[in-house]
Structure 1
Amino acid sequence: MSRHTPPAIAFAVAMAGIAVFSCMDALMKGLTLEIGTYNTLLWRSFAGAAIAAMPHFRRRPGWPAASVLAIHVRRGAVATVMAVTFFWGLARVPMAQAVALTFIAPLIALFLAAWLLKERIDRSAILASLIALAGVATILAGQARAELGEGALLGAISILFSAVCYAYNIILMRRQALVADGREVAFYQNIMVGLFLALAAPWLAVVPDAVHLPALAGAALLATISLFLLTWAYGRAEASYLAPVEYTAFIWASILGYLVFGEHVGAFTVAGAMLIAGGCLLAARRKPVPMGNLEGAQ
């Protein structure tokens, strides 16, 4: 992989990956409300594996090395838990609030990157995350005044647990991106999640009606594109540098939540979004540190 890509380009590509992923979230929320969390994730994963298999196997790849396969399996397991808990919660709270709750993940990932990947965290990265975190607090203060309905508290707890998993997923994404390209990552991510979910298929799996197939295929395609973009970006910039880009998901969630589900965005939400955007701009402008030592990170 090239290590000469300007960091601002990697940051922009990561932002595009988050935007695509947010569109997938909107499709997934609708599907989850109609056919349930488990079946939505199961069939989307297998559809995604089929889509990702075409570019992956077109180049006739060999079987991945044992160490690389171990990373694929580990990230697949983490992604399975992360996805189930997030989409279960997403069906119970507005998109903007759900995404806001996940914003603890990049903050945790900054420190995990220092611990697991030996990356140095400079003051501007910490400041950028604190600014964005202040935006999240502002949003939650506004959301606390809204009536979210029965089950919202459990949904919020589920999403917070998913966010912790996602923090570790960011670190695994960085490791994975250094040893595999986007096509390989997209294929193995989908197939691993599908296989882990399939363990419960005898009890939970239901073949979806044909009316849901376009949305499932669309969600799978968007997830695959997002995985490719994020893998490309994380293969060319450090996790601590790219982690704040996750905050841009709130802006997309606010727009899509309003357009698709009629979820209104108030003054607290707008103020919080401005803080989040400010933190991301600060992170994008800072000078990234050199590639860290990855020994012992596998």
Structure 2
Amino acid sequence: MAMTPNLRGALFMSLSMAGFTLNDSIVKLMTDDISVAQVMFLRGIIATVLIYIFAWRRGAIRPIRLLMDKWVALRVVGEVGGTLTFLTGLANVPIANAAAILQALPLAVTMGAALFLAEPVGWRRWLAILVGFSGVLLIIRPGMEGFSPYSLMIVGTVIFAAARDLATRKVDPAIPSLYLSTVTAGAVTVAGLLLIWPMGGWQPVDTAQLGLVAMAACLVLVGYQFIIMSMREGEISFVAPFRYTGFLWAVLMGYLMFGEVPDSFMIAGGAIVIGSGLFTLYRERVRSKQKPASRSAPRHSP
């Protein structure tokens, strides 16, 4: 039986999250021997070359002057900051904890859109945002035994990534997504190069490690490609919730590769964050259905 576009989109989204999570697992494994900055640089070289070739073949390369746009610059800063904070945190906390905190990103984007882009957000979604961030606090447990300051690095990732996503909304639509990906991948690579010596210097890399770097870079591309395919295949409201399968992949990889067993705080906090995110997606779907009718009906809070 043929799959519907929505089911294909859901499958592609799940595969995308698997690609990203496997990449994260490989990076976490490598940071035992080499610094986060060196990983950023080595993985970035391969990823940038591959993305550039893909963008060139698709005719997505544009003049360098387009990079002077302030929204493009903010997107680059968000990508670099998000990569650095995430990889630093990931090297020092269980991968499932990092993934659970990262699930708060859609909530942060919704909040940022309301605060900085004047997008309407009703009281129900504001409540969901507050509940979701309470789940993040439950995961990181500030002031309690088991608290790791490196968890705050993942919170920083959420902030940087939200700024990146909000800036992306403001970037000129004439600038292709593949060109933006090429630019940001290159910027992350340069940032990694500049930080290698401040973060401990260059460490020798053997053939096996280079193989892991190449695998991680390819998995990043797999993740990006499948996430694009998922959005083009199915309805966003149906496909988007499958983004949260990344949390399940992270729990599985954490157990299989690092022997990490999630504790009750992480499971409860992750469930709260994901539940809040799903409710926010549901409310956005309800609002999108109400928009045509709102032109002839009184406005009311979503």
TM-score by structure 2 length?
Answer: 0.73
Match for residue 35 of structure 2?
36
- Counting only pairs closer than 5 Å after superposition, residues 104-143 of structure 1 correspond to structure 2 as 105-141=105-141
Tell me how far apart the structure 2 counterparts of residues 42 and 11 of structure 1 sit (CA, whole Å): 32
* Equivalent residue letter for 2:120: R
Query: Please, what is the CA RMSD of the aligned residues?
Result: 4.0
Match for residue 168 of structure 1?
163
Tell me how far apart the structure 1 counterparts of residues 125 and 9 of structure 2 sit (CA, whole Å): 16
Tell me how far apart the structure 2 counterparts of residues 222 and 263 of structure 1 sit (CA, whole Å): 22
What's the CA shift for 1:37?
0.6
* Shift in alpha-carbon separation, 1:158–1:274, aligned structure 2, 3 A: closer
Q: 2:190 aligns with which of 186, 192, 195?
A: 195
Indicate the larger mover: 52-61 or 116-125.
116-125
Tell me how far apart the structure 1 counterparts of residues 278 and 125 of structure 2 sit (CA, whole Å): 11
Match for residue 255 of structure 2?
258
Match for residue 26 of structure 1?
25
2:191 maps to 1:215:
no
Indicate the larger mover: 262-271 or 281-290.
281-290
Alpha carbons 1:186, 1:224 under 8 Å: kept: no
Tell me the secondary structure at the aligned position of residue 185 of structure 2.
Answer: helix
The number of equivalent residue pairs is: 279
Larger Rg, first or second structure (1 or 2): 2
Deviations 1:117-157, CA, capped at 9 Å, x for gaps: 342223443344344334334434599544x7xxx42x233
Alpha carbons 2:94, 2:260 under 8 Å: kept: yes
- Counting only pairs closer than 5 Å after superposition, residues 272-283 of structure 1 correspond to structure 2 as 272-283=269-280
* Equivalent residue letter for 1:108: A
Indicate the larger mover: 193-202 or 211-220.
193-202
Tell me how far apart the structure 1 counterparts of residues 191 and 133 of structure 2 sit (CA, whole Å): 33
TM-score by structure 1 length?
Answer: 0.74
Match for residue 294 of structure 1?
none
Tell me how far apart the structure 1 counterparts of residues 113 and 242 of structure 2 sit (CA, whole Å): 15
Alpha carbons 2:9, 2:230 under 8 Å: kept: yes
Tell me the secondary structure at the aligned position of residue 33 of structure 1.
Answer: coil
* Equivalent residue letter for 2:48: A
Q: What 5-or-longer segments of structure 2 have no aligned partner?
A: 292-302
Alpha carbons 2:104, 2:274 under 8 Å: kept: no
Indicate the larger mover: 94-103 or 241-250.
241-250
What's the CA shift for 1:188?
2.1
* Shift in alpha-carbon separation, 1:184–1:80, aligned structure 2, 3 A: same
2:91 maps to 1:94:
no
Q: What 5-or-longer segments of structure 1 have no aligned partner?
A: 1-5, 291-298
* Shift in alpha-carbon separation, 1:218–1:15, aligned structure 2, 3 A: same
* Shift in alpha-carbon separation, 1:130–1:16, aligned structure 2, 3 A: farther
